[in-house]
Structure 1
Amino acid sequence: MSLEDKIQKDFLPKHLAVIMDGNGRWAKQKGKLRVFGHENGTKAVRQTVEACAELGIENLTLYAFSTENWNRPKLEVDALMKLLVSSLRKELNLLQENNIRLQAIGALDSLPKKAKKELFEVIEKTKDNARMTLTLALSYGSREELKNAVKEICYKVKNNIISLESIDESIINEHLYTQNLPDVDLLIRTSGEHRISNFLLWQIAYAELYFTNVLWPDFSKEHLYEALINYQNRERRFGKTSEQIN
């Protein structure tokens, strides 16, 4: 029996998030510039997106570029932005053929004009696709997201748009970038690091965390299947006891 056959199709995460880490180390191991790792990382993105669509996962969110990543050397940042543009152009057919809708979250206005234009063109062209939602976290930082949500809610309270007493989890969710996405069920991080790195801090409150030593450019469908099988073998209690769940 293959790994894919071991996956329970009726027990898939509704929302899978991935911290794609290890491109730079992968390139360094091969005596190449970090950009070489980012370029090869796009193959892992393609395989992961295809596999999730084939399995029936409804929402996939990829941590593509953080707010902190702007602090990297200019040469690397410029290369990443060019890679974003070229990848969006190349992968449009993949999205259309697999009926995948693209969206993006983060401080998108900080992206270079060319990257932002290409991004929104692909978002527009795929807006009616319904098989899966692929979300790219670009210039994204969870603390920034939460700070903006607090500001918006405070403004609405101050101007009597909402009452202080009405603020609950659903109100907070409505003011996050991910307002149209369910909470994350499974978070995968590659490269052996055991950090969240300012990614979806509110949304992963009850997510299962899966860490693998595989560097992102080497991450394959088989590695994804292993993560999903591991997830399906866990007991998700959400604060309850095992007896209550069973």
Structure 2
Amino acid sequence: MTAAQPVWARVKRHVLSNIRTGRWRAGDRIASEHELVRELGVARMTIRRALDELTREGLIVRKAGVGAFVAGEPLAESHPLEIRDIAAEVAARGRAWRAEVVALEAAVLDAEMAERFGMAAGATVFRSEIIHFEDAAPIQLERRWVNPAIAPDYLTQDFSSGTPAAHLLAAAPIEAGEQIVRAEAADARTAGLLRIPADAPVLTVARRTWSRGQVASAARLIHPGHAFQLAGRFGDLP
């Protein structure tokens, strides 16, 4: 039986849904904590936990005494050490997100991927391949392998209306993760899916996450080089 989704995660998805559908666009003030408590019928601490997560992910900005606002960025952007929902990032820029599911299936691990999961070669996992769009432009090709023990209902999800990242973050909170970013040339198949010339530069984020003491997911997130940047802040900046 799949574990129930935490209440704060449902609140988070409610806020993200309002951003995705355009109710709250980049720069808009979202509903206050009091309004969300009244609308959703949950505790204020639960609302704060959800808003804390959205703030940490850079999707909303909170201003003391004023409220919380949908963040906005001019380019597709990711912090190299954070895991974010690409649909919410696109919505926060005031753009329309959509996805095309190329593959969603059970798959057998080859030796290389089995090593990444700490499983025997030939073990069965779930695999998805999804193209994410910002308005009409493809901005990410997501190739993902998922541990069935962590997300047993993965293959039943509609990833044209919600992302694998959002589903996995809700189903199995991340305990640890690693990311490697590489600049590469797109192979012919990747280029075709991203609608860029063959051998065009792409940025590939190779990501692996752990939950409940085991590898939850391994992904390759491939972005057209001209439409994506990595950004981050550290230290006590003014």
If the length of structure 1 is used for normalisation, what is the TM-score? 0.25
Which protein is richer in strand relative to its size? 2
Q: Whose RCO is larger (CA < 8 A, sep 6+)?
A: 1
If the length of structure 2 is used for normalisation, what is the TM-score? 0.26
